[in-house]
Amino acid sequence: MNKTVLLTGGGRGLGRATADRLAARGHRVLLTARTRAAAEDAVATIRRQNPGARLEPRWADLSSLDEVRSLAAAEVARGEPIDVLFHIAGILQTSKERRLTVDGYEETLAVNALAPFLLTALLMPALERSASARVVTVSSRLHLPGSRGAPVDFDFADPQLEHGYHPDRAYKNSKLAVLWFTYELQRRLAGRAITANAVCPGFVPSTAAASTRGLERLFMAYVLPHMPFATSVDAATDSLVFMAVDPALDGVGGKFFGERHELESSPQSHDVAQARRFWSMAERLTGLA
């Protein structure tokens, strides 16, 4: 059964590749990118390879809560169901300079966690129009203790990392927050025909290279893809398509997946009190409270 999938991050990388694969299977894809030009270019590129693809461009800069609200309001006003809301868009900073959004929030947390939180809440009417809807958000195994780089350390007294900022910590904190959001959302969806899951697509150097420059970019694009720990675009996309439309996940929610099977997330991610604390914080920061 073909589905309507609203997918963020469709302008490039894994988002575009996933949109391409879903459209090739006959699904209707609402491809969301940061700008109108990027969304329309991605749609045109995919259609050149698959003229019959059912793709529609959407656009919003997810670092702006106002643009997230505008995207959601326009979609809800169409009065159509959304079967799958797939939050693929995300950023991985390499600069050690802390960057703020137009709303004054640390950029990594805002794009990777607050934007999916707000967009999901505002698109709930469209999800409820579906006979069986899914919310899928990209997280990462890097939230696990012992992963490379600066450790995860989500301090509710300093969620914006005004003190001790490090790009690795910002990224890992945001991916832990995604899991808190996912698990708490599933608890709050009890009794409704909507599920919430998170997925780690693996480390895909060729797409991560877009966040880097100079020699680091060349290293990410041409050396790291040949390492045994790297994931290919095709393998990662296969995992994302599975999350979006595979019947095996009908009715399955509150899980963390990778490579088409369930993964174990950190003990901290399962802390209900912290998840609810994050939820309350996100409601306040996004204006939903």
Give the active site residue among 105, 165, 171, 183.
171
Residue corresponding to tokens 């174990």: 264
Report CA-CA distances (Å) from 28 to 18, 55, 210, 211. Answer: 12, 6, 27, 29
Residue corresponding to tokens 């720990």: 229
3-state DSSP call for residue 120? helix
Side chain identity at 207, as an amino acid letter? Answer: T
Q: Which of 157, 87, 111 is nearest to 286 (CA)?
A: 111
Residue corresponding to tokens 């997918």: 7
Q: Which of 129, 128, 135, 181 is nearest to 154 (CA)?
A: 181
Distance of CA 250 to the CA centre of its chain: 20
Report CA-CA distances (Å) from 186 to 21, 134, 150, 215. Answer: 27, 10, 29, 42
Compute the distance between CA of residue 125 and CA of residue 127 in angstroms, rounded to an integer: 5
Please confirm, yes or no, whether 171 is among the known catalytic residues: yes
Q: List the catalytic residues.
A: 171
